[in-house]
């Protein structure tokens, strides 16, 4: 589920947004999603650096908590929302607020201390770029050896999808989910999630 600012704001209209309806807010998005389905999973990324620093994760936790997204639904191991960031401090902060939530440490190029499959304290998922996986395919096995999961982004080429499936990644992030889902189902309909 994704939104585009173009759908919410008319750049030709100079009037202020008095009703606050032209910019999609997280709360509006969550209300829409939860009204639509009680089973959709969410992946939410926080961006850093920002002027509000640590308050981003605190506010995100508060909003997710109000919507019941920081505790696992009955019969599930994890809450429906995953939180991710390229900021190591941000993901560690969020794990302190919400220890049950799956937190993804995003990286294009890994710091040396995480190249053997280790992740920051409290983080259970490595969100790694496809280019790194192509250069270091052994990384998937290393992360799994620590009991963590691997989500690979942004996988749009079918040869890269095949590589991810061969390596046993836990989720594939793509701009073309329909094509990737079809490819995954050819391999094994139960194997890898596409997000």
The pLDDT score that the predictor gives to residue 3 is 46
- The confidence band for 174, taking pLDDT boundaries of 50, 70 and 90, is very high
Q: Please, what is the angle between helix 55-66 and helix 88-97, to 10°?
A: 40
96 and 119 belong to one structural domain: no
The pLDDT score that the predictor gives to residue 7 is 46
Of 67, 101, 135, the domain-final residue: 101
Domain holding 84, by residue range, is 41-101
185 and 112 belong to one structural domain: yes
Look up the pTM and report it: 0.83
Mean local confidence (pLDDT), 75-89: 95
Q: Please, what is the angle between helix 177-187 and helix 158-167, to 10°?
A: 40
> Is 7 a domain residue?
no
> Is 85 a domain residue?
yes
Cα Rg of the chain (Å, integer): 18
86 and 113 belong to one structural domain: no
* String of DSSP letters for 90-113: HHHHHHHH-TTS-EEEEESS--GG
The pLDDT score that the predictor gives to residue 20 is 64
The pLDDT score that the predictor gives to residue 24 is 87
pLDDT exceeds 50 at position 5: no
Of 101, 136, 169, the domain-final residue: 101
Chain mean pLDDT for the chain? 89
pLDDT exceeds 60 at position 77: yes
Residues 6+ apart with CB under 8 A from 161: 155, 172, 174, 180, 183, 184
Q: Distance (Å, rounded) from C-alpha 92 to C-alpha 87?
A: 9
148 and 192 belong to one structural domain: yes
User: Per residue in 123-136, is it b (16+ CB within 10 Å) or e — as a string?
Assistant: bbbbbbbbebbeee
- The confidence band for 194, taking pLDDT boundaries of 50, 70 and 90, is low
117 and 55 belong to one structural domain: no
56 and 80 belong to one structural domain: yes
Q: Distance (Å, rounded) from C-alpha 161 to C-alpha 132?
A: 14
49 and 68 belong to one structural domain: yes
- The confidence band for 53, taking pLDDT boundaries of 50, 70 and 90, is confident
> Is 2 a domain residue?
no
pLDDT exceeds 50 at position 104: yes
93 and 118 belong to one structural domain: no
119 and 95 belong to one structural domain: no
Q: How many domains does the chain have?
A: 2
Q: Distance (Å, rounded) from C-alpha 185 to C-alpha 73?
A: 27
Mean local confidence (pLDDT), 59-76: 95
pLDDT digits (tens, 9 = 90+) for 21-50: 678 899 999 999 999 998 899 999 999 988
């Amino acid at each position: 589920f994704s939104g585009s600012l173009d759908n919410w704001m008319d750049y030709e209209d100079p009037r202020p947004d008095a009703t606050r309806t032209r910019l999609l807010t997280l709360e509006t998005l969550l209300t829409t999603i939860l009204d639509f389905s009680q089973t959709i999973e969410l992946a939410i990324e926080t961006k850093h650096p920002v002027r509000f620093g640590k308050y981003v994760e605190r506010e995100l936790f508060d909003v997710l908590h109000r919507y019941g997204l920081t505790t696992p639904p009955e019969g599930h191991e994890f809450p429906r929302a995953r939180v991710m960031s390229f900021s190591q401090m941000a993901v560690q902060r969020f794990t302190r607020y919400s220890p049950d939530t799956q937190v993804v440490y995003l990286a294009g190029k890994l710091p040396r201390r995480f190249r053997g499959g280790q992740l920051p304290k409290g983080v259970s998922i490595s969100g790694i770029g496809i280019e790194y996986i192509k250069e270091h395919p052994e990384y998937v096995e290393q992360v799994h050896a620590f009991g963590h999961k691997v989500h690979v982004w942004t996988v749009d080429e079918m040869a890269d999808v095949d590589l991810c499936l061969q390596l046993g990644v836990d989720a594939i992030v793509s701009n073309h989910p329909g094509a990737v889902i079809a490819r995954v189902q050819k391999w094994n309909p139960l194997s890898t999630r596409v997000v």
